[in-house]
């Protein structure tokens, strides 16, 4: 019997890796809360968790409420693709099996599928929603990546990359963001500041 050629699997995050959530959050908050923040304001260094607290100068509960307003708004539904992603994904798709691994919750399922169909048609073979937000759930992106046999994870969140690397999955910390720029990277994680850098890392050119 002939062996079926299997491609290595790359798991890819959605927000701020494929879709520009950071810019959309800024526009939403400027329009709804009267801020006058610039792109530069949204790149200041700070922790990933509740990152916007540092920008909006609101407390944790207020920050969460404001972000939740954004999540159910048309801004979240209409995120723009990250520059350069599509052409690199088309190239990667020849050599790899590309899947989405996102921690968007139930409210994001339908919009995720429609955004992918609109901006990244025929690229991804599967979409996994990781219930990080579940009560007491032990789910992690690293566990899902292990279960589906992913060789790589591309994600802008250092914590997800770290857990993946610890599970033996090669992690690519994506983007040059205020919440990931300051990290020192352990073995198993490389940084790619944009999709061209991902192309060089995974296609070797």
- Give the residues lining the site for Mg ion (CB under 5 A): 13, 15-16, 156
**Smallest distance from the beta carbon of 96 to Mg ion, in angstroms?**
19
**Smallest distance from the beta carbon of 83 to Mg ion, in angstroms?**
16
Of 66 and 173, the one with the shorter C-beta distance to Mg ion is 173
**Smallest distance from the beta carbon of 34 to Mg ion, in angstroms?**
27
In DSSP terms, 22 is beta-bridged to none
**Smallest distance from the beta carbon of 95 to Mg ion, in angstroms?**
23
Other CB atoms within 10 A of residue 167 CB: 17
Evaluate whether 66 touches 58 at the Cβ level (below 8 Å): yes
Of 29 and 79, the one with the shorter C-beta distance to Mg ion is 79
Q: Which residues contact 188 (CB under 8 A, 6 or more apart)?
A: 164, 165, 166, 168, 169, 170, 171
**Smallest distance from the beta carbon of 160 to Mg ion, in angstroms?**
8
Of 7 and 86, the one with the shorter C-beta distance to Mg ion is 86
In sequence order, what DSSP letters do the residues of 156-178 get, joined into one string?
S-HHHHHHHHHTT-EEEEES--T
Sign for the pseudo-dihedral over CA of 44, 49, 128, 181: positive
Of 59 and 126, the one with the shorter C-beta distance to Mg ion is 126
DSSP secondary-structure letter at 202? H
Of 15 and 20, the one with the shorter C-beta distance to Mg ion is 15
- Identify which of 157, 186, 174, 171 has the alpha carbon closest to the alpha carbon of residue 48: 157
- Identify which of 104, 132, 107, 130 has the alpha carbon closest to the alpha carbon of residue 18: 104
Q: Which two tokens stand for residue 17?
A: 């890796």
Residue 22 phi, psi dihedral angles, 5° rounding? -55, -45
Return the residue nearest Mg ion (CB atom). 15
In DSSP terms, 99 is beta-bridged to 11, 126
Of 16 and 97, the one with the shorter C-beta distance to Mg ion is 16
**Smallest distance from the beta carbon of 11 to Mg ion, in angstroms?**
12
């Amino acid at each position: 019997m002939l062996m079926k050629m299997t491609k290595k699997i790359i798991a890819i995050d959605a927000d701020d890796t494929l879709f520009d959530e950071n810019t959309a959050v800024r526009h939403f908050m400027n329009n709804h809360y009267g801020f006058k923040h610039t792109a530069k304001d949204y790149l200041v260094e700070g922790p990933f968790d509740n990152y916007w607290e540092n920008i909006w100068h609101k407390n944790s509960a207020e920050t969460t409420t404001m972000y939740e307003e954004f999540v159910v708004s048309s801004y979240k539904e209409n995120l723009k693709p990250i520059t350069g992603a599509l052409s690199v994904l088309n190239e990667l798709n020849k050599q790899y099996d590309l899947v989405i691994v996102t921690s968007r919750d139930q409210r994001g399922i339908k919009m995720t599928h429609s955004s992918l169909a609109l901006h990244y048609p025929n690229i991804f073979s599967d979409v996994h929603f990781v219930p990080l937000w579940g009560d007491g759930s032990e789910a992690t992106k690293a566990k899902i990546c292990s279960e589906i046999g992913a060789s790589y994870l591309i994600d802008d969140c250092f914590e997800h990359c770290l857990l993946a690397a610890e599970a033996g999955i090669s992690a690519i910390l994506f983007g040059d963001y205020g919440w990931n720029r300051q990290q020192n990277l352990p073995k198993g994680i490389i940084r790619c500041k944009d999709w061209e850098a991902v192309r060089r890392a995974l296609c070797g050119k």
